Structure 1
Amino acid sequence: MEPGNGTRISEFLLLGLSEEPELQPLILGLFLSMYLITVLGNLLMILAVSSDPHLHTPMYFFLSNLSFVDICFTSTTIPKMLVNIQTQSKVITYEGCITQMYFFTLFAELDVYLLTVMAYDRFVAICHPLHYTVIMHPRLCGLLVLVSWTICVLNALLHSVLVLRLSFCTDLKIPHFFCELNQMIQLACSDAFLNNMVLYFVTVLLGGGSLAGVLYSYSKIVFSICAMSSAQGKYKAFSACASHLSVVSLFYCTIIGVYLSSAVTHSSQSSATASVMYTVVTPMLNPFIYSLRNKDIKGVLKRFFAVAGTKGTIVLRLKKCP
């Protein structure tokens, strides 16, 4: 866009997590490892759900969608960060920055919406078990995912279009490892009142609405579990939503912690470091949380690795044969 001095902005500088040269190899190795674990773990989750007909249920349908979104979520930021560290460059083009901001906003919001939809699924399963298959039919599940995608695509597009109208001056340094919407607005030297108003309004409306939906669903679940007379029934009901509750708690607590810490310290660098929790760590841990507490997922993965190991042994024996 046209900045104050009349020249066109062509690139920004991503300052990353640290500017210390001796820390760059450590950061590169750490984030490369976390990224590979995230992609592999979520791909295995998608493979497990798609390969076993017994897992073709609403809960696992939403889980596979969450795994896909988590892969996309981390892929919008980490690869560019790794390339910049490897090439010792902090540059990202203007177009690349807008594109990264759009997809980051899209997939971050999709994470929130899918967690909300999954909370509703657990609410129906525990509070209305006899009507679960009637309520959570495949058409409704597909519609919930489609509506989530539509809202998030339009919202991310709205924020991107509003950023395109901003002008930027000479300070083009982003104290983050990716182009984050709020950081972009703060860099603008033109009036960003409309951007801030839309950002706050959408955050309260969509983010607050999603959080309220999760809290309402789990409040009903807790009351329903407490009303059960059987200890075995309580344990079974709690186990059915424990994994999702763990993921929801981790995701929302890290986001709230990031914004509270940035509000207290007023440090963009501290905020960038704290944001690693919900942008990298949470998507990496999600598959482990679901698989470790889920007998169905563990069973499918064990059979998959057993078959893969058997095929590998047969191939090796065939190669040894003259």
Structure 2
Amino acid sequence: MSESEFAASAIEKISVARARILDQLGQVIVGQSDVIEELLICLMSRGHCLLEGAPGLAKTLMISTLSKVLELSFSRIQFTPDLMPADITGTEIIEENKSTGSREFRFLQGPLFSHVILADEINRTPPKTQAALLEAMQERTVTVGRVRHELADPFFVLATQNPIEQEGTYPLPEAQQDRFMFKVFVKYPSFDDEFEIARRTTAKQTVKLEPVLTAEELIELQSLVRDVPASDHVIRYAITLVRQTRVGEPGIPDFVTEMLSWGAGPRSVQFLILGGKARALLHGRTHVTTEDIQALAKPVLRHRIVLNYGAESEGVSADDVIDRILQETPAKEDQLTSDARFQKIFAS
């Protein structure tokens, strides 16, 4: 197969999969097109996603519906203050072997051993239990005792949290947040969308969802995303955006030093480029552009940069800082490479 034939085949497969998924989701979810697109990008990139929004915005429904559409095994974990690590990873029990009479350990798998994990209200459980997800999200394994257990493939953690109610919650540590590829804000629906939601949910309705992708087909699509080329300029642009968030590094803007106490790490660059590849395919292209990187800068960076007290007291948000970095960073290669300030960033 030639390069052009491969490109056409990849675009067709992704486009067909996207259309079928959106068609099925549309039977249950009204609006939220931006959120759904970012979820699909995350899935195609083998990432994990954190959804934040007020109660009643269908965060949980969106995730559970997506799992049904993808014909994947699904576990919902309701995170509560009394949840223990073994409740999600699994535990070893002593069991008697009836044939020999001896006792031996047997591992009972927890709900993490599914393809799609809904970590509902993840910030309601203590850090000890939150940390049980770290190995699973990064290594896709769970270690119990001295034995490492492989998790399902594909494996996604899709978590929700409520930004309003803070009593009885445990903010996610930076190391935990860094495992999530995206942090997606779920906003209130428009008037027309809310009208449709009210009309549908207050009348008799029968919805029959049909699975459109198997695990094997999804893994194939994820492999296609990795094959999408990204030019050196796009990679350099992604690195430049991330490095400008790091306080104390040469060449960063003054406003970053004034507003941030901590910046984003190398995983941000990886997720920007991978997400850009998935977004390019979803939009019918086989190459990544700086527009793809710009579109994903907020969901990738907003939970990885830490505002200082001064910025918080003035009502500055992480998205405001990212917007300003995007405005001051030229997307064209000749402008980026000729500016003395960015040359310092490349050299540092």
- Band of TM-score, shorter chain: under 0.3
> Greater strand percent: which structure?
2
Structure with bigger RCO (C-alpha 8 Å, 6+ apart) = 1
> Greater helix percent: which structure?
1
